[in-house]
Chains A and B, each alone.
Chain A
Amino acid sequence: MSIVTVDNVRKRFGDNEVLKGVSMQVEAGQVVALLGRSGSGKSTLLRCLNGLEVIDEGRIEVAGHAMDYETSRLRELRKDVGIVFQSYNLFPHLSVAQNIMLAPGLVKGVDKSRGRALAAKVLDRIGLLDKLDAYPDNLSGGQQQRVAIARALAMEPRVMLFDEVTSALDPELTEEVLAVIEQLARDGMTMLLVTHEMNFARRVADTIVFMHEGKIWESGEPEAMFTRPQTREFEQFASRNVK
């Protein structure tokens, strides 16, 4: 059964239609990489999946929640959907542990001592247990991004969204973040990633979705797509981006 359903979704920013009727399904445990040039609508599609962008037409269902912008129902959906951003967006006034414990404490009523244990657990998973009481300012970009992943994981989401999470990082730091994501894939987390890391997508994703001009232009298994592209646009895109 699919855990993410996108059905004929349209989204406009003013006169500019960014999503022109997008439909897709994601099965539980799948890793989907969204590829495409900037402006192709891939980030917008991702942001629609947890309601950060409001769609104009169509239907979205994630983790059993039909997309509904009424605040309490939107919150229910967001409890099950984690997102990680390009710019990390950690809370600078809170320590790493507090960053991670905040939402479980407020939203799920996890008390302080259990919250700290939870923070330790997710930090251990991403290899940053020693940074429990550090502040975001004192971490490298790669470490901040891994903490952001840990913060999302602490809510025990059923689906994780990654919006160009390595685009702001040096190649070296990119590797450490990708390693964490790859580990999550092995653990069976359902994930959708907008990424420019073509080799990573090819290796880790179960499905590649190539977006072009607000539509899903081509999609399928990575090996098949990269060896036998069906459209000129993807062929060009792939040849330009795979090194």
Chain B
Amino acid sequence: MIHSFNLQDLLFLVRSAGWTLVLTLVATAVGGALALVISVARLSTHTALREATRLYIVVVQGIPVLMVLFLSYYGLAHAGLDLPPIVAASLALSIYVSAYLGDIWRGAIQSVHRQQWEASASLALTRMEQYRYVILPQSVRIALPPTVGFLVQLVKNTSIVSIVSVIELTRAGQLVNNTTFEPFKVFVTVAVIYLIICYPMSRLSRYLEEKSRVYRDR
């Protein structure tokens, strides 16, 4: 039934934006935890661990997220594991996040001076203690701006899960448009909602970048 874009539709869009946020948060949490393991494994003294994680990053970064999504939804279903769309979507996005943040954080860890490792090792700290108390606190400062920048990308990239019929913001926009045929109104509204989510994050990223530059110049 065709009707014009109304308050109901707007509320539907806002509710669906909730799923966009949920997907972003889950992918950030799960993918972030994985990324921490990956970044440390990338710098491990074990060659196999180092190479395996390097390969993982190359592969995941080298294929469209859409393929990861198809594989975790249609692929796993074909293999007998029938995941609900929202779970498959979260899985795919988490994998995507883990490869990118894993690489960003690896770089941040490596940018801490080698002498910090030597000084802390000479004080008889274990490798875990070196990471926990000396290296990671210094890497966080370096990693924060690009991490927030990447998460802004992630918010927008969650839109691809509309393909496997998860109703997040983009998919909701399509549905509303199908019943209103007012694409300008609908998609401008959708765009504005994305902007409202992303703009503060972009600002935060820029602020953090400036702050870390001040720190370096001091």
A82 to B118, CA, bound (A): 12
* A50 is an interface residue with CB less than 8 A from chain B: yes
Q: Which of B64-72, B103-111, B126-134, B204-212 contacts A (4 or more CB under 8 A)?
A: B126-134
Interface size of A as a range? 20 to 34
Q: Is the CB of A85 within 8 A of B115?
A: yes
Q: Is the CB of B115 within 8 A of A102?
A: no
Q: Is the CB of A103 within 8 A of B123?
A: yes
* A71 is an interface residue with CB less than 8 A from chain B: yes
Shortest Cβ distance from residue B138 to the other chain A in the assembled complex, whole angstroms: 6
B133: A residues at CB distance < 8 A: 102, 106
* B137 is an interface residue with CB less than 8 A from chain A: yes
* B81 is an interface residue with CB less than 8 A from chain A: no
Q: Is the CB of A52 within 8 A of B134?
A: no
Shortest Cβ distance from residue A27 to the other chain B in the assembled complex, whole angstroms: 23
Chain B positions 74-92 with a Cβ under 8 Å from a chain A Cβ: none
Q: CB-defined interface of A75-111 with B at 8 Å, one 1/0 digit per residue?
A: 1101101110101011111000000001100110000
* B124 is an interface residue with CB less than 8 A from chain A: yes
A81: B residues at CB distance < 8 A: 122
Q: Is the CB of A103 within 8 A of B124?
A: yes
Shortest Cβ distance from residue A30 to the other chain B in the assembled complex, whole angstroms: 21
Shortest Cβ distance from residue A4 to the other chain B in the assembled complex, whole angstroms: 16
> Which one of B118, B123, B138, B141 contacts A151 once the chains associate, using CB atoms below 8 Å?
B123
Tally B residues with Cβ within 8 Å of A: 20
* B119 is an interface residue with CB less than 8 A from chain A: yes
A85 to B127, CA, bound (A): 20
Known A85-B115, A102-B133; contact A79-B218, beta-carbon cutoff 8 A: no
> Which one of B119, B123, B127 contacts A155 once the chains associate, using CB atoms below 8 Å?
B123
Q: Is the CB of B123 within 8 A of A107?
A: yes
Which of B126, B133, B141 is most buried by chain A, counting CB atoms within 10 A of its CB?
B133
Q: Is the CB of B118 within 8 A of A52?
A: yes
Q: Is the CB of A92 within 8 A of B126?
A: no
B118: A residues at CB distance < 8 A: 52, 85, 89
Which of A87, A93, A137 is most buried by chain B, counting CB atoms within 10 A of its CB?
A93
Q: Is the CB of B121 within 8 A of A106?
A: no
Shortest Cβ distance from residue B141 to the other chain A in the assembled complex, whole angstroms: 8
Shortest Cβ distance from residue B8 to the other chain A in the assembled complex, whole angstroms: 52
A103 to B134, CA, bound (A): 11
* B165 is an interface residue with CB less than 8 A from chain A: no
Q: Is the CB of A78 within 8 A of B121?
A: yes
Q: Is the CB of B122 within 8 A of A52?
A: yes
Shortest Cβ distance from residue B45 to the other chain A in the assembled complex, whole angstroms: 10
Q: Is the CB of B124 within 8 A of A155?
A: yes
Q: Is the CB of B119 within 8 A of A78?
A: no
Q: Is the CB of A89 within 8 A of B119?
A: yes
Identity of the chain B residue whose Cβ is nearest the Cβ of A108 in the assembled complex:
B124
Identity of the chain B residue whose Cβ is nearest the Cβ of A106 in the assembled complex:
B129
* B48 is an interface residue with CB less than 8 A from chain A: no
* B125 is an interface residue with CB less than 8 A from chain A: yes
Chain A positions 109-141 with a Cβ under 8 Å from a chain B Cβ: 137
Q: Is the CB of B119 within 8 A of A85?
A: yes
* B116 is an interface residue with CB less than 8 A from chain A: yes
Identity of the chain A residue whose Cβ is nearest the Cβ of B114 in the assembled complex:
A89
Q: Is the CB of A107 within 8 A of B116?
A: no
Q: Is the CB of A87 within 8 A of B115?
A: yes
B119: A residues at CB distance < 8 A: 85, 89-91
Q: Is the CB of B125 within 8 A of A106?
A: yes
Question: What are 21 A-to-B residue pairs whose CB atoms are below 8 Å?
Answer: A50-B122, A52-B118, A75-B124, A75-B126, A78-B123, A85-B115, A85-B118, A89-B116, A89-B118, A91-B119, A91-B120, A91-B138, A93-B141, A102-B123, A102-B134, A103-B124, A107-B124, A107-B125, A151-B123, A152-B123, A155-B123
Task: Give 5 nearest A-B pairs by CB, closest first.
Answer: A103-B123, A89-B119, A78-B124, A89-B115, A75-B124
Interface residues of B (CB under 8 A from A): 113, 115-116, 118-127, 129, 133-134, 137-138, 141, 218
